[in-house]
Chains A and B, each alone.
Chain A
Amino acid sequence: MRRFWSVTRAVAWRSVHNTLVSPAILLPSLIFPLFFLVAFAGGLSRISDVPNFDYGPGYTSFQFVFVFLQSAAFGGVFTGFAVARDFDSGFARRLMLSAPRRSGIIAGYALGALGRWVVTGTVVTIAAVIAGMNVDGNGVQLVGLVGLGLMMNFAAALWACGLAMFLRTEQAGALIQMPVFVAMFLAPVYVPLPLLTGWIHDVARYNPVTKALEAGRGLLAGSPVEVGVAFLALAVAASVLTVFARGGLRSAERAG
């Protein structure tokens, strides 16, 4: 176990260090959520005037939860890019040779993804507060919202690391990013689920991201909705993706 943690700590430290010292890596992961917040909360706020749109804290808060969870997911995705880059540069192969417990590599990258999200999540939250976000939830409920973000970040990091280890090239970037992006947008992003119509309503109903989003919005509004179901959905996703990431690691081991 000690060897596992030493690998995890080393990989996580390197991942966070690389993110913080390289603006080319840090800025895109900061800019994208911020600009989604500005574009959605600012440009689409009129949507809250649609009949039956009923969300107490207002449209900025409604969109904040989406952007907050999206930044969590993309914290994981961007870490997948770093894994792919490490394979392209040959660093990952040297790391695999030197690591006494290779499963610590996945854990380290996942911890690095968390470190990355701590930065972006904080910036997005500060920006939303400056933009006039209302918070009706209490402290415990806000901790619940952060917990949803942590789970989302962890699941996305496992997906991204697993796929990057399977494909082992930076060109996998679009493939890592696209399913997460689509899953996020197939949830009720702009209006609550009951106001969605057509095929997207059917898809959103069964999308696990919808559960996380609705629970997060409920927590921010101080009226929790299916929080347990949301955590369960994310826990199941994380369990499945842990198996997937370990498969990716084994594939990388076989490839040498």
Chain B
Amino acid sequence: MSAVAITVSPPGLLEQVAAVARRSATRTLRQRALLIFPMLFPLILFAINGSALNAATKIPGFPAPTYRDFLLAFPFMQGALFIAVTAGVDIARDIESGYFNRLALTPLRGEAMLIGQLGGAFVTAISQSIVYLLVGIATGVPIKSGVPGAFVLLILATLIAFAFANIGALLALRTGTGEAVQALFPLLFVTLFLSSSSLPRNLIKATWFRDIATYNPVSYLVEGMRSLIIKGWDGQALYLGFGFAIVIGAIALTLASRAMRTRLVRT
């Protein structure tokens, strides 16, 4: 009787990513509270500030007829920050519960674990971007760049959210606890408020604030999205918006990959 050798080829990187991403996306979809709160909170602020700051449109040179038009980019950006925290907390929970350690015992590659883990963040990013866009349109915000611009806005918003999800992943992999990721959230939030999210940079009166906003990459992310809503097709704003989103995402992903390798070595 001869022995039969059975060789099983390991799944490719894409299959590995898909498997981990499926789990991450399913977990996100099952936890509706995690989906709804981060989606709702920016909309509440949009509704309140959209009316409360309408007086700002009387400032000479204000670029939109209503403050709501100007503000619509804000929920997309704020939603991206929430995604960073949600993605980070999800990964931290997997580290704390020992799920990462168990995964590390399998032939799964580190890159697949990382990118797959962000699958849930990707689902949230797409869903919330669509909701924000629809709410904007429903409340009478005209998208100056038309239907193609609305699609570009969705792509840019998803890209930004994914870039910030990588920052969340990096924080989780470096600290290993959900509490630490949550504690760093205010710092991410500060970057949004110290940007041109509330007024155009040329209308910010305090010089020190205008300088911070100019050096703050979040200003360019917001301005890229906002240009599609209130200006139409502004090549420079889009170039800077997409450029910063890609650069932030790439840096965060590279650092997160390194942190993942370190964590797997520790395991």
A interface with B by C-beta (< 8 Å): 24, 27-28, 31-32, 35-36, 38-39, 42-47, 49-51, 53, 174, 178, 182, 185-186, 188-191, 195-200
Contact = CB atoms under 8 A, between A and B. Distances in A.
B198 A185 contact: no
Nearest to B61: A46
Given A43-B209, A196-B51, A24 B179 contact: yes
Interface residues of B, number: 30
A182 B183 contact: no
Contact of B199 (A46, A189, A196, A200): A46
A129 B144 CA distance: 43
A38 B209 CA distance: 9
Contacts of A198: 51, 54
Contact of B194 (A28, A38, A178): A38
A182 B48 contact: yes
Interface stretch (B111-119, B185-193, B222-230): B185-193
A199 B51 contact: yes
Contact of B198 (A39, A178, A186): A39
B198 A44 contact: yes
A43 B52 contact: no
A185 B52 contact: yes
Given A35-B186, A43-B213, A45-B206, A186 B48 contact: yes
B44 A45 contact: no
Contacts, number: 88
- Interface core residue of A36, A46, A196, A198 (most chain B CB under 10 Å): A46
A7 B205 CA distance: 51
B186 A31 contact: yes
Given A43-B209, A186-B48, A196-B52, A35 B190 contact: yes
Given A32-B186, A51-B58, A195-B55, A43 B48 contact: no
B59 A190 contact: no
A199 B179 CA distance: 38
Nearest to B187: A31
A22 to B, nearest CB: 11
B45 interface: yes
B53 interface: yes
B194 A43 contact: yes
Contact of B37 (A44, A174, A200): A174
Contacts of A28: 183, 186
Contacts of B41: 178
A58 B206 CA distance: 13
Nearest to A198: B51
A49 B209 contact: no
A191 B37 contact: no
Interface of B: 37, 41, 44-45, 48-49, 51-56, 58-59, 179, 183, 186, 189-190, 193-194, 198-199, 203-206, 208-209, 213
A115 to B, nearest CB: 22
A17 B207 CA distance: 40
B51 A197 contact: yes
Contacts of A44: 53, 56, 198-199
A38 B195 CA distance: 12
B51 A200 contact: yes
Contacts of B37: 174
Contacts of A200: 48, 51-52
- Interface core residue of A45, A188, A191, A200 (most chain B CB under 10 Å): A200
Contacts of B54: 196-198
Contacts of B55: 47, 50, 53, 190-191, 195-197
A47 B62 CA distance: 11
A39 B213 CA distance: 11
Contacts of B53: 44, 47, 190-191
Nearest to A46: B205
Given A39-B198, A46-B199, 20 more contacts: A36-B193, A39-B194, A42-B206, A43-B204, A46-B56, A46-B203, A46-B205, A47-B53, A47-B55, A49-B59, A185-B52, A186-B48, A190-B49, A191-B52, A191-B53, A191-B55, A195-B55, A197-B55, A200-B48, A200-B51
Contact of B204 (A46, A182, A191): A46
Nearest to A45: B205
A26 B118 CA distance: 31
Contacts of A43: 193-194, 198-199, 204, 206, 209, 213
Contacts of A36: 193
